[in-house]
Chain A
């Protein structure tokens, strides 16, 4: 160890300077990093599908699309607005939803030109088309690419109701009086089996199909009649289908015969060419509160049978 030289003062000074410099750089670096790390400033953007919707903003002619529903407004918007967005992107018009509480209101608005097109129930269409000079232009396709649906009669799986004949003396829940699949067709099916309203304990109409199922599940009613798609949602939740109807046409999109044919063909062209999945987060199965993804051309004759059914039931009831 005695071989180690004593550093000269100049060397020592140099070393001290280097060490101090290193410490200084280290400290400055630390402070700098500390400062940058703690500077949280920043902007984080996220795309939200909210194109501007006002007609005056887009410069396109504004058209109104009527919807009838007793569901809360924001749910209706959630269901229908994507289709409007699609039309707005693919036609020369700007479509805006117009919500109404009753079928009659919508039919009147169609006739009066307050709305230019509307989603309408089959029953309402069939019964008001003559009076308001309406015409169906499109009808939605189901998952199997067919423009059909059925009316089904359901009961709890733990009940002893296995067929229509078991319904005598029981309580029955139906959907809206304006619903084909939830009211008229079930009544028709029962009548065909010789069961009239009088043969049941009670028949009650509820505003929508889901309420019907809930009444049955809650044991308030022994059986209920709903559209097949709604019933299918609940099949593994304690109900079963005891009877299924013949196929019915799906609910049409309706316009007034007096409306601008250009607009009508624009709607038809756009909706006929919808690509599957082109409309974002969208649940087509809940048909009662939303449109289907794909459409096909409607045939006026599809809805003729409805008037016959009504006539038949009214006749039966009058007879009973």
Chain B
């Protein structure tokens, strides 16, 4: 529900209830005043017009005069002169009917005229005024008034008065109050509507401003004011907020630059650690070659090939050192034609010492259509070296490592390194490419291998993905553009 409707609804109901309460209170007050006034009025009229009736009855007792003539004369006088009187019944001290009017004075109507009962019993010592609705006559105010002096009663006068004028008075005031209430409520709501419209319009402007405010980083969930704060105040606050946001954004940029620098330093550190690692890997390879030559020095053919391997490992080390020197100068790898079959086989040979030690079943197959790709030979070696060593570390005794490579499509080749080792837990899969993330004990792992792989593959515009079902298998998939750059 919009704020406008909410406020209108709320204030509308409050005003309605308020108006109604006031009107009802006023109405009841007015009603009781009107009725009270009428009761008093009728009492005094009754007392005044009862005197001749009383006198007639008193004289009939003291002087033996027949009261009928006096009573009748007075009746006709009342019919002529007293407005609103409907009937008069006079009872004697024994509550027997003495005389009564013959029809309703004002209406002259016989239809609804009920002849009064010949005897009635009256409550002594009280004048009773009763307002009630009578069939055909509307509202009648009936008064039973004792005709008495002090403690002596000569009879009772029962007088009927028209109650409808009082009622009409109350009806008219009720209507006026009702219309007034509705009018006041409507006017108030109208004024309120315009006021709220203005309010929501400026609120709308403010929200527009908020919506269009963009810091590159989206700031969408700025809350709308819920209380009826002044809009100006709100806008001012929003301005301040904007300023603060811009300031903190600038601050952030500075900080980011600092972090970037720190990262670069960290990367150099990481690189040197990686280099140490690479050198170590190559030295391990050389060691295993020397070990084989030492075992069988007479086998010149083997010695020649091992020496060739040793030479390549040394070249690799040389390359690494060169690369470190180049790192600051050059971001792009130096591209040349690389046959991945050769590279992978070389890496497997370099690792054969560990493979044999762990009795690992390693299996490398390259599809025939695997082309020569344009890449940095040494970096490709590093990638393969890292993936294969990670797999060797991951599998247990007699583990299995499967390496597959082939053409993925026109532009790319793929490379799978799969093992049935421990696997990577889902939460770690997010983290393994982070530098220095390692699960290996200190001295064994640096946590830099995969981050180096990622860096190299991305530098070649390729992609690297890791999939792992812990306990079952782990697959690292690399895609590389054949042309070196897409």
Contact = CB atoms under 8 A, between A and B. Distances in A.
Nearest to A5: B2
B213 interface: no
- Report, as a range, how many residues of chain B touch the other chain: 35 or more
B35 A40 contact: yes
Interface stretch (A43-51, A196-204, A265-273): A43-51
A73 B151 contact: no
Contacts of A44: 39, 128-131
Contacts, number: 127
B180 to A, nearest CB: 13
A49 B152 CA distance: 9
Interface stretch (A22-30, A171-179, A244-252): A22-30
Given A40-B166, A48-B148, A85-B151, A3 B125 contact: no
Contacts of A88: 151
Among A1, A22, A78, find the residue whose CB has the most chain B CB atoms closer than 10 A.
A1
Interface string A29-63: 11001100110111111111111111000000000
Contact of B163 (A22, A40, A73, A97): A40
A38 B132 CA distance: 11
B151 A40 contact: no
Contacts of A15: 1
A4 interface: yes
A54 B92 CA distance: 13
B246 interface: no
A77 B39 contact: no
A84 B31 contact: no
Interface stretch (B55-63, B324-332, B417-425, B456-464): B55-63
B267 interface: no
B139 A40 contact: yes
Given A50-B146, A73-B62, A43 B129 contact: yes
A3 B224 contact: yes
B178 interface: yes
A82 interface: yes
A6 to B, nearest CB: 10
A37 B146 contact: no
Interface in B119-164: 124-133, 139, 145-146, 148-153, 163
A47 B51 CA distance: 18
- Report, as a range, how many residues of chain A touch the other chain: 35 or more
Contacts of B170: 37-38, 40
A316 interface: no
A81 interface: yes
B126 A48 contact: yes
B174 interface: yes
Contact of B149 (A29, A33, A81): A81
B188 interface: no
Interface string B1-32: 11000000000010010001000100110010
Nearest to B132: A41
Given A15-B1, A40-B167, A53-B152, A33 B211 contact: no
A102 to B, nearest CB: 14
B204 interface: yes
B124 A3 contact: no
Nearest to A282: B150
Contact of B58 (A1, A40, A47, A74): A74
B200 interface: yes
A9 interface: no
Contacts of B39: 44
B171 interface: yes
Contacts of B125: 47-51
8 contacts: A2-B208, A37-B28, A43-B130, A46-B127, A49-B148, A50-B124, A53-B152, A85-B151
Closest 5 A/B residue pairs (Cβ): A81-B150, A85-B151, A50-B148, A77-B149, A1-B204
